[in-house]
Amino acid sequence: MSARGSGQASRIPGAGRGAFGRNALGRGVVLMYLSLLVLIPLSAVVWTSTEGGVAAFWQAISSPEALAALRLTFGAALVVVLINAVAGTLIAWVLVRDSFWGQGFVNSVIDLPFALPTIVAGLTLLVLYGPGSPVGIDVAYSPVAVVVALLFVSLPFVVRAVQPVLMELDRESEEAAASLGAGPLTIFLRVILPSLMPAILGGSGLTFARSIGEFGAVVLITGNIAFETQVASVYIFGQIEGGDIPAAAAVSVVLLAFSLLALIGLNFLQDRWTRHED
Amino acid sequence: MKTRLTLRTLALGYLGFLIILPVASIFWFTFSDGLGTFWSSVTEPDAVSAFYLTLIAAGVAVAANTVFGVLCAIVLVRHRFPGKRILGALTDLPLAVSPVIIGLALILVYGSGGWFGGWLAERGILIIFSIPGIILATIFASLPFVVREVAPVLREVGIEQEQASSTLGASPWQTFWLITLPSIRHGLTYGVVLTTARALGEFGAVAVVSGRIIGRTETLTLHVEDRFLAFDLTGAYAASVVLALLALGTLFAMNFFNREEKA
């Protein structure tokens, strides 16, 4: 009763008149659930990383092994972002502008990396591109394996961001450009690409955030060789197992900061774009 | 025409080598020894208990996140209050957090030396290295999907029907069951399917908090890694195929509901 009463007092005219609209109970439950599950645990990670002071934090993230893991993680993520931006746009293009037998099947294959458990994704790649490769390609236990695994899990982001934009795109300006003598490449670069750019950037932000944190897909295929194929998430896992929680927390904070930056940057770009369109 | 064919070949080749061939090859390797080997691997007691644990963890996580997701979407769309944007960002946060960090975060709060862990342990409640921890990790990882699918639908349908219903004397619950829920049905189903996929497949977060007691706190994804590291490739492939089949089922459901939504 008291929750309902306080909800009524804070009611804003015209807002929140739907179901639950008049009570603050729902808001309280949501806040509680998020706090216990997400907010408090993540705060604990940040807190633990700074417990030993700035010097300890710095030492933890600049130890040679941590530094090598972070360097590999960010390097691989950037390569994956670049490849995905091109390949994702290409696939979206083929799915929207081309038409061929089996297109519906190909379209649903795009979502497979989201549906498939990451450990299974890693294992399937290892089966085909590992030591016993039936096609004679062995990239396992090398930095290339990291890139391949990340490309697999992050495939849908750019495709699914670009596809709807491409479908909505007005063809008139392309036809106008063609009638004025522009070649296909010029039309793509000058007319189509600018409208796709926000979607590509948005998908790339998600790709980056996902790539720097990926664990399941890379853990088997990289072989976890320190200084060579060990990515940050695998390093963190090793530190947790080895009992060095502050070091695990410090590297975690670096990853968290960068994925938040990527997502905030993405939000900012999308906001700017929608305002631009209005 | 030539460019079109080149682009098509490039795109399909990329997808073929990156996605289709690897997934097909694991099916091939699993069933090349015959159905019998596959069946004896998946009916092994450890595999069966891992399968059940995965179902339990995913079941609880999907139920919890569905109720929370709908409530959270209503709060985000229908209520106006300071800090709403922050709340929205907070619900999206699990998407940006590495699974391993999810596990670490839960250990730091609910582990034996954690913020709440000691207090809980005194009362005989063990979370980390036990099934509740696995469930918490699964809930965390699959939290955003229902909210993300339901919130835009809720915004789209508006509040007119809800208002009409309450003006005509319906209680908030009646309005919710008879008006709100039917109108968000499709978005909700889609969100539940995505949540299920993520919950069934979660690996990193669960790996950190499970403690890996074979036959007790091992989910199916952990079982895959465990078999692989024990050089039991047949077992690893067989469990992978079970997970892949679940994923294909999810994919089918995603396509089905997506089409229904468009129709």
Q: What is the mean pLDDT of residues A143-148?
A: 94
User: CB of B134 within 8 A of CB of B53?
Assistant: yes
Q: Are A60 and A155 part of one and the same domain?
A: yes
The pLDDT of residue A13 = 40
Q: What is the mean pLDDT of residues A255-268?
A: 85
Please give the mean pLDDT across all residues of chain A. 86
Q: What is the mean pLDDT of residues A121-142?
A: 88
B20 touches chain A (CB under 8 A): yes
The pLDDT of residue A184 = 84
Distance (Å, whole) CA A72 – CA A66: 10
Distance (Å, whole) CA B202 – CA B196: 10
The pLDDT of residue B254 = 77
**Is residue A20's pLDDT more than 80?**
no
B84 touches chain A (CB under 8 A): no
Q: What is the mean pLDDT of residues A41-60?
A: 91
Q: Are A34 and A113 part of one and the same domain?
A: no
Distance (Å, whole) CA A143 – CA A163: 30
Q: Are A272 and A134 part of one and the same domain?
A: yes
Distance (Å, whole) CA A16 – CA B74: 9
Q: Are A42 and A61 part of one and the same domain?
A: no
Distance (Å, whole) CA B136 – CA B147: 18
pLDDT in tens, A213-229: 999 999 988 888 888 88
**Is residue A269's pLDDT more than 90?**
no
Distance (Å, whole) CA B39 – CA B20: 24
Q: Are A15 and A110 part of one and the same domain?
A: no
The answer to whether the Cα torsion of A248, A250, A255, A256 is positive or negative is positive
User: CB of A276 within 8 A of CB of A195?
Assistant: no
Which member of A44, A112, A260 has the closest CB to residue B115?
Answer: A44
Q: What's the CATH code of the domain at A212? A: 1.10.3720.10
Residue B236 to residues A140, A145, A216, Cα–Cα distance (Å): 17, 20, 14
**Is residue A205's pLDDT more than 50?**
yes
Residue B96 and residue A256: Cβ atoms within 8 Å? yes
In this prediction, residue A274 has a pLDDT band, given cuts at 50, 70 and 90, of: low
Residues 6 or more apart in contact with residue A223 via CB below 8 angstroms: A140, A141, A229
Distance (Å, whole) CA A22 – CA A205: 38
CA neighbor of B239 nearest in space, from B217, B218, B223, B216:
B223
Q: Are A83 and A149 part of one and the same domain?
A: yes
Residues 6 or more apart in contact with residue A256 via CB below 8 angstroms: A42, A45, A46, B96, B97, B101
Residues (pLDDT < 70) of chain B are 1, 258-263
Please give the residue range of the domain that contains residue A143. 54-277
Q: Are A78 and A180 part of one and the same domain?
A: yes
User: CB of B81 within 8 A of CB of B249?
Assistant: no
Residue B247 and residue A117: Cβ atoms within 8 Å? yes
The pLDDT of residue B240 = 94
Q: Are A108 and A226 part of one and the same domain?
A: yes
Q: Are A96 and A40 part of one and the same domain?
A: no
Q: What is the mean pLDDT of residues A23-48?
A: 89
User: CB of A127 within 8 A of CB of B224?
Assistant: no
In this prediction, residue A18 has a pLDDT band, given cuts at 50, 70 and 90, of: very low
Q: Are A30 and A96 part of one and the same domain?
A: no
Q: Give the DSSP per-residue string, chain A.
A: -HHHHHHHHTPPTTS--STTTT-SHHHHHHHHHHIIIIIHHHHHHHHHHHTTHHHHHHHHHHSHHHHHHHHHHHHHHHHHHHHHHHHHHHHHHHHHH---TTHHHHHHHTTHHHHS-HHHHHHHHHHHHSTT-TTS---TTSHHHHHHHHHHHHHHHHHHHHHHHHHH--SHHHHHHHHTT--HHHIIIIIIHHHHHHHHHHHHHHHHHHHHH--HHHHHHSTT-TTTT--HHHHHHHHHHHT-HHHHHHHHHHHHHHHHHHHHHHHHHHHHHHHHH-
Tokens (6 digits) for B7: 């682009």
Domains of chain B: 35-100+126-262 (1.10.3720.10)
The pLDDT of residue B156 = 86
Tokens (6 digits) for A123: 């294992």
Q: Are A25 and A151 part of one and the same domain?
A: no
In this prediction, residue A134 has a pLDDT band, given cuts at 50, 70 and 90, of: confident
Residues 6 or more apart in contact with residue B263 via CB below 8 angstroms: none
Distance (Å, whole) CA B244 – CA B252: 12
In this prediction, residue A247 has a pLDDT band, given cuts at 50, 70 and 90, of: very high
- Burial class of residue B213, CB neighbours in 10 A (0-12, 13-18, 19+): exposed
Residue A252 and residue B20: Cβ atoms within 8 Å? no
Query: What residues of chain B, 23 to 52, have a C-beta less than 8 Å from chain A?
Result: 23, 25-26, 29
Measured between beta carbons, the chain A residues lying within 8 angstroms of B92 are: 263
- Structural domain total, chain A: 2
The pLDDT of residue B56 = 95
In angstroms, what separates the C-alpha of A148 from chain B's closest C-alpha?
8
**Is residue A75's pLDDT more than 70?**
yes
User: CB of B154 within 8 A of CB of B184?
Assistant: yes
Distance (Å, whole) CA B140 – CA B146: 13
Q: What is the mean pLDDT of residues A55-74?
A: 93
Share of chain A above pLDDT 70, in %: 88
Q: Are A233 and A102 part of one and the same domain?
A: yes
Residue A263 and residue B92: Cβ atoms within 8 Å? yes
Which member of B159, B180, B254 has the closest CB to residue A17?
Answer: B159
Residues 6 or more apart in contact with residue A78 via CB below 8 angstroms: A208
